[in-house]
Amino acid sequence: MKMNKFLVTASTALLLTTVLAGCGGSKKDEGAAADKKTNRELAELTDEEITLTMTSWFESDWMEFMAQKFTEKHPNIKVDFIDLSEAENYNDGLSNLAADQKLPDVFGYNSNCDLPILNGWFYDFTDLWGADKEAANMLDTLQNQGRFDGERMMAAAVNYYPYAVFIDENLLKKENVAMPSADYTYSDLVDLVKKMTIPEKKIFGYEGGSQWLTMAPIIEQDAIGEFGWDGKKYDLTKDWADALTQMAEFQRSGVRAPDGGTDEAEAAYGNRDAWGPATGQVAVKLGAWWDKNTFETDEYKNKGINYVPYTIPKGDNGKEEHKPAYIDMAGISSATEHPREAYELLKFMGWGADGWDARMEFYKGQKDADANYLPPVLPLTNEQKYWDQMLELLPKNEYYTNFMKHARQPIPLGGRVLPGFETWINEVYFNGEYGNVESAVIEGKVNAHDVAPELTEKADTYHQEAMDELFAQ
């Protein structure tokens, strides 16, 4: 496996030299724990007039507001937001900036951590992180996710969008089925979608994609990454294989609602183009936090549809509340002339208290302007006051309150944090010997348990080869 396809131009080799030089303070025998024990403090910010640049694919209004608030806090530091929303592909836009030696001081990257690592874009901020007392406030499961080599801090979380399960409370009441408890388990959810599959009434258990096989290894194995990643290796042999086998059975037995645009949809809903959750015939929608913006509307309420949010369930065998989430990550440019100030900006955009004060001001302003506005993310910090403030902006019911209580241990999806993952999933999982392996199992062409050992072995191999190539020194 070669990763040279991610290199943007030869000129970025200069950045690689810079980032490796910046890593000199991190020895392999010290590891991630060392910087937690330091008594050092962050250096003071410069009092010189400087300009920092930043970019990401996040909402531009929010980004510009945050840039303004950062400058209000630090009047000598101007922040220029580079908008790449017009770029056909965000990562391509970022690559073009890097090729022109204009990589922003703080930048988000989309999906694939191999790209910025291979091109040497990341500044190693291990020492700054270790001296930052606020770093310990970040949600526990995210604190070390930016240590791509297991040691050096190269990126950090800046946005958190949880996976979510939406259950139509009205439909369950109609069928005299009790709502799950807030601390429900994976098997509870499986039982629920089976019970709520009522063919004679054209009611379906759930609508969704591959959430079952994404959640199962994480919640059952207390994994810290996708596909059972435990920090050293993957494991698809048990929970992934079980979940995909269950998905295939759900598809065949009519538990899963038909997709729009199919003959099955027309037979079920009387409208070929209908979306199951909009019909009032689907009990559970497996999705993400942003789906609340669809369901908390008059369109759904007037139809008598009342989807309420639950977190992903706890594993039957899990001890923690690890749950898959969409986590936006960002880093500091290895070419920055102001690493200390860039770190402060990254913290402001991610986990810092000053930044969360600014975020809540923005969200509250949006709510004042539009009573139907719902904040798009959950806090990245353990500071309870921000969770309380966020809850105040959400619908007032037990479901949102309970969601916030059980959403404190997010686990990022693979490519954002696991070297080699994107290459493996594209070359092996979706386009390998079995084609799309999920489709192959669901269509009955292969058995999930038969192919799981090989998939696991290749995932581990791709990861190790990526580590050897990305971090060879």
How many helices (H) and strands (E) in the chain?
Answer: 21, 9
Tell me, what's the pLDDT at 88?
Answer: 82
Q: How confident is the model at residue 34 (pLDDT cuts 50, 70, 90)?
A: very low
Residue 435 has pLDDT above 50, yes or no: yes
E strand or H helix at 15:
helix 13-21
Alpha helix ranges (H) inside 100-181: 114-118, 126-131, 169-174
Give the pair of three-digit tokens for residue 322.
Answer: 């690890």
Q: How confident is the model at residue 287 (pLDDT cuts 50, 70, 90)?
A: very high
Half-sphere exposure of 268 (CA within 13 A, CB side): 28
Rounded to 10 degrees, what is the CA torsion of 46, 129, 110, 208? -140
User: Which of 25-29, 53-57, 64-68 has the weakest average pLDDT?
Assistant: 25-29
Residue 49 has pLDDT above 70, yes or no: yes
Instruction: Give the single-character DSSP code of 256.
Output: B
333-390 pLDDT, tens digit each: 999 999 999 999 999 999 999 999 999 999 999 999 999 999 999 999 999 999 999 9
Lookup result for tokens 């292969």: 446
Instruction: Give the single-character DSSP code of 305.
Output: -
Instruction: Please give the Cα distance from 397 to 406 (Å, whole number).
Output: 15
- Across the range 165-174, mean pLDDT stands at 98
pTM given for the model: 0.92
- Across the range 165-178, mean pLDDT stands at 98
Give the SS3 label for residue 219.
helix
74-127 pLDDT, tens digit each: 999 999 999 887 778 888 999 999 999 999 999 999 889 999 999 999 999 999
Q: For the chain, how long is the longest CA-to-CA vector? A: 73
Give the pair of three-digit tokens for residue 44.
Answer: 């003071």
1-21 pLDDT, tens digit each: 555 444 443 333 343 434 443
Phi, psi of 82 (to 5 degrees): -95, 115
Other CB atoms within 10 A of residue 291 CB:
17
152-167 pLDDT, tens digit each: 999 999 999 999 999 9
Contact present, 448 and 247 (Cβ < 8 Å): no
Instruction: Give the single-character DSSP code of 288.
Output: E
- Across the range 32-58, mean pLDDT stands at 79
Q: How confident is the model at residue 413 (pLDDT cuts 50, 70, 90)?
A: very high
Give the SS3 label for residue 221.
helix
Q: Which of 346, 436, 466 is nearest to 105 (CA)?
A: 346
Instruction: Please give the Cα distance from 175 to 177 (Å, whole number).
Output: 6
Q: Which of 385, 413, 388, 331 is nearest to 157 (CA)?
A: 331
Residue 416 has pLDDT above 60, yes or no: yes
